[in-house]
Amino acid sequence: MMELKFIRPYVKRYGLQYLIGIAALLLVDALNVYIPRFTGQITDGLETHSIGMNEIWFLIAKILLFGVFIALGRFAWRYFILGPARSIERELRDDMFGHLETLSMRYFNEHKTGDLMAHFTNDLASIRMFLGFTIITAFDASVMLVLVLAQMILYVSPKLTIVAVLPLILIMFGDYYYGKVMHRKFLEKQQAFSDLTDQVQESVSGIRVIKAFVQERKELAAFARMNLFNQEKNLSVVKLYSLFLPLLDLVIGASGLLTLLYGGYLAIAGEITLGQFVAFNQYISMLVWPMFAAGDCITYISQGLASLKRIIVIFHEKPEIVDGFDVDRTIESLTGEIDLKGLTFSYPDQDHMSVLDQIDLHVEAGETLAIIGRTGSGKSTLANLLLRLYDTEPGMIRMDGHPIKEIPLAVLRENIAYVPQDNFLFSDTLENNIAFGIKKDRKEIEQAAKDACIHDNIMEFPDGYSTIVGERGVTISGGQKQRSSIARALLKNAPILILDDALSAVDTDTEEQILHNLRRNRAGKTTLIIAHRISTIQNADHILVLDEGRAAEYGTHDQLMEKNGIYRSIYDKQQLEKQLQEEGGEIR
Ligand SMILES: Nc1ncnc2c1ncn2[C@@H]1O[C@H](COP(=O)(O)OP(=O)(O)OP(=O)(O)O)[C@@H](O)[C@H]1O
Ligand SMILES: [Mg+2]
Cα separation of 456 and 465, whole Å?
A: 11
Segments in the chain below pLDDT 50: none
Task: Tell me the sheet residues that pair with 554.
Answer: 544
Which residues of the chain form CATH 3.40.50.300?
A: 330-415+516-588, 422-493
**Closest protein CA for atom 27 of ligand 1:** 375
Q: Which residues contact 49 (CB under 8 A, 6 or more apart)?
A: none
**Closest protein CA for atom 13 of ligand 1:** 376
Q: Quick one: fold of 330-415+516-588?
A: Rossmann fold (3.40.50)
Cα separation of 263 and 43, whole Å?
A: 15
Number of the ligand 1 atom closest to the C-alpha atom of 421: 27
**Closest protein CA for atom 3 of ligand 1:** 347
Give the pLDDT of residue 472. 64
Ligand 1 within 6 A of CB of 109: yes
Which residues of the chain form CATH 1.20.1560.10?
A: 1-156
**Ligand approaching nearest to the C-alpha of 381:** 1
Give the pLDDT of residue 99. 94
Do residues 416 and 387 make contact, with C-beta atoms less than 8 angstroms apart?
yes
pLDDT digits (tens, 9 = 90+) for 153-203: 988 889 889 888 888 788 778 878 887 887 788 778 877 877 788 788 888
Cα-to-centroid distance, 284 and ligand 2 (Å)? 72
Ligand 1 within 6 A of CB of 229: no
The dihedral over CA atoms of 401, 403, 405, 409, expressed in degrees to the nearest 10, equals: 20
Give the pLDDT of residue 396. 94
Q: Which residues contact 396 (CB under 8 A, 6 or more apart)?
A: 340, 341, 342, 343, 344, 345
Write out the residues surrounding ion ligand 2, Cβ under 5 A. Answer: 379-380, 421
Q: Quick one: fold of 422-493?
A: Rossmann fold (3.40.50)
Give the pLDDT of residue 386. 95
pLDDT digits (tens, 9 = 90+) for 503-558: 988 888 899 999 999 999 888 899 999 999 998 998 899 999 999 999 999 999 99
Cα separation of 259 and 370, whole Å?
A: 90
Give the pLDDT of residue 473. 66
Please tell us whether the domain made up of 1-156 is placed in CATH 3.40.190.10.
Answer: no
Q: Which residues contact 538 (CB under 8 A, 6 or more apart)?
A: 557
pLDDT digits (tens, 9 = 90+) for 71-94: 999 899 889 999 999 999 999 999
pLDDT digits (tens, 9 = 90+) for 352-381: 778 999 999 999 999 999 999 999 999 999
How many Cα atoms are found within 13 Å in the side-chain-facing hemisphere of 571? 16
**Closest protein CA for atom 5 of ligand 1:** 347
Do residues 480 and 505 make contact, with C-beta atoms less than 8 angstroms apart?
no
CA 184 to chain centre: 23
